[in-house]
Amino acid sequence: MRADAKYALIAALVLDVLLALVLDVLLALGLFLASPLLYTLENDTIPSRFHDNTGVLKIQSLNSTTDVLPQMQDLLDSTGPIMLTIRVNDIEQARRDLELFAKSRGSLNNLSVKLDMSRSEMQEFSKSEDLQQQLLTDLLDSSMSLDALENLEIRYRDQNDPNMLISVQYQGDEIRKKVQELYNQYRVETGRVTEISSKFGLDATKGDMGLVEFERYVKEIDRNRKQQDSLVRSFLPH
């Protein structure tokens, strides 16, 4: 065979192969455009645990980094000790712990924005943690106010001033009512945090402990009020 004829035959074969490849690509592209889903739950025949609980897929995509869950756990572990320091009247430690809690919460919020985590679970968790921080801050302020009023009660009893003593008592009652309201709100937010945490496999034990300590604190200030009422009644003229 002449050389020019052989080259012409090879060129024709290569052209046929390239034309076939182009047709295959166009056919595949047409099929994909007609039905772009690569996976559907209904069409997949391979058994998977995601079939039973499609919500797991959302959690898997949400937990795309190992940085998120540890920070969530740190926040969960913070509220219990903070509540305990407030109950035992360790004001300075409670302030320091609240500052650290605020920084950790800010870091988690920033990380969520960076990773574009807009899932409702993360939004609810972050919102509840924000509210818990505010409630604990308000409780710390209320605790300090109650301590100041107790000192005033002692002073006015020593000064034999029943009018000021009654005034201080009324102020204390208002603060105790506020503490009860704070506890009711804190209980709701703790329940939300615990529920969300369980979905991520986190341990909410210390957070739940904070709610227990809060309840103890409410009962303690109520007992103190009854004791103070008894002292005031014995002091006032009949």
**Tens of pLDDT, residue by residue, the chain (238 residues):** 555 555 555 555 555 655 666 566 566 556 555 555 544 544 444 444 434 444 444 444 444 445 677 888 888 999 999 999 999 999 999 999 999 998 888 777 766 555 544 567 777 888 899 999 999 999 999 999 999 998 998 898 888 888 898 899 899 999 999 999 999 999 999 999 999 888 888 899 988 999 999 999 999 999 888 777 666 666 555 5
Q: What is the pLDDT of residues 40-93, one digit of tens each?
A: 544 444 444 434 444 444 444 444 445 677 888 888 999 999 999 999 999 999
Residue 227 in tokens: 């004791």
Which residues neighbour 108 within 8 Å (Cβ) at sequence distance 6 or greater?
68, 71, 72, 75, 126, 129
- Quote the pLDDT of residue 7: 55
How high is the pLDDT of residue 1?
55
- Residue 11: what pLDDT? 55
116 sits in the region (left: phi over 0; alpha: psi -120 to 50; else beta) called left
Distance CA 123, CA 105 (A): 12
Q: What are phi and psi of 180, to 5 degrees?
A: -65, -40
- Predicted confidence at residue 32, as pLDDT, reads 52
Cα gap 119→61, rounded to integer Å? 10
Q: What tokens were used for 37?
A: 């889903």
* Tokens (6 digits) for 13: 């074969």
d(CA 183, CA 217): 9
pLDDT, tens only, 26-35: 665 565 555 5
Residues 96 and 82 sit within 8 Å (Cβ to Cβ): no
| d(C-alpha 40, C-alpha 45), whole Å | 10
Q: Answer yes or no: pTM beyond 0.85.
A: no
Instruction: Please name which of 83, 92, 101 lies closest in space to residue 220, comparing C-alpha atoms.
Output: 83
* Residues 146, 221 contacting (CB under 8 angstroms): yes
Q: What count of Cα atoms within 13 Å lies in the side-chain half-sphere of residue 8?
A: 5
* Cα–Cα distance measured from residue 64 to residue 110, given in angstroms and rounded to the nearest whole number: 16
Query: Structural domain boundaries of the chain?
Result: 61-235
- 96 Cα distance to chain centroid: 20
Q: Which 3 state secondary structure label does DSSP give 53? A: coil
